[in-house]
Structure 1
Amino acid sequence: MPVATSRSTAVTLPEGPFPHVALSAQLRFEASLPYGVCLAFPSRGPQGETLEWYFGRDLLAEGRLASAGDGDVRVEPGPDGRVLVTLNPHDAGRTVVSVPAKAVAAFLNDAFTLVPPGTESEHLDLDAVLAQLFP
């Protein structure tokens, strides 16, 4: 049985200087971290680093239907079949990422198939959680 799922998609930054330029991104879910999802942006630079944002799987699910979240990450339905993910870290400027709603729905379907709602604690790998918190 698979222990992870991911979906590559093209996103835009509607409040950025080039709002219609598509960027590569990936939505990721690991059964060992059942409460969260990752929105990752592969780097094209020489370092090859990937920028990753982790936030709640339920936040993504709720936010694709109605505005949700009140911390560093907010999710809400956007125009034209999009989902808007607002990343607002305390030490940097706000970034809004526009993701196709169909990609989000398909990704969540896969994630909820791997770990159905209400069964998250059965899949929780505390060592993996600690490794994410304290790299």
Structure 2
Amino acid sequence: MTVATSWSTAVTLPEGPFPDVAVEAQLRFDTASPYAVCLAFPPLGDDDAAQWTFGRELLDRGRHGPVGLGDVTVAPGPEDRVLITLRSPSARAVISVPAAVVTAFLLDSFRLVPAGAETEHLDVDAALAHLLP
């Protein structure tokens, strides 16, 4: 059985055309993927919801100093914010999330799966059965 936690919050895009306009987002964690967190945005019009999945440790460490290479980086921001930078081959977005929300979300996730106990929550047999015919 998996257990999940989800925190809704208002985020901003400080490098976007409307840096002070808040956008709803969710931070999600599921014990079935104990190393990962998800940052999700609701669908706009007919589009699918946008979501990015990246390392829980990356988010945790990024609260204290810049971390990450490639598609996702995390760093402390101004005014008690955490900056999550998402990159794709054609675009880049900086998401500013309240640091208190990130910290509370991570505390919930670490209550569900303590740091260092992630492997105890992996279902290796199910993953292999899915990969092998």
Larger radius of gyration: 2
Write the distance in 2 (CA, Å) between the matches of 1:43 and 1:123.
30
Give the aligned residue type for 1:104. Answer: V
Counterpart mapping for 1:35-114 below 5 A = 35-47=35-47, 49-89=48-88, 91-114=89-112
Q: What are structure 2's unaligned runs of at least 5 residues?
A: none
Q: Which letter does structure 2 place at the counterpart of 1:81? A: D
RMSD of aligned residue pairs (Cα, Å): 2.0
Shift of 1:93: 1.2
Give the match's secondary structure for 1:85. Answer: strand
User: Could you state the TM-score of these two structures normalised by the residue count of structure 2?
Assistant: 0.90
Deviation at 1:128, TM superposition (A): 6.7
Show CA shifts across 1:94-124 (max 9, x none). 1000000000000000000000001101101
Q: Is the 8 A contact 1:13 1:19 kept in 2?
A: yes
Q: CA–CA distance in 1 between the matches of 2:128 and 2:56? A: 15
- Secondary structure of the 1:37 match is strand
Structure 1, unpaired ranges of 5+: none
Alignment of 1:108-127 (within 5 A): 108-126=106-124, 127=126
Structure 1 moving runs of 4+ over 2 Å? 125-131
Q: Which amino acid aligns with 1:106?
A: A
Equivalents in 2 of 1:125, 1:14: separation in Å?
39
* Structure 2 partner of 1:24: 24
Identity of aligned residues (%): 59
> Could you state the TM-score of these two structures normalised by the residue count of structure 1?
0.89
For the 8 Å contact 2:2–2:32, the answer to whether it is kept is no
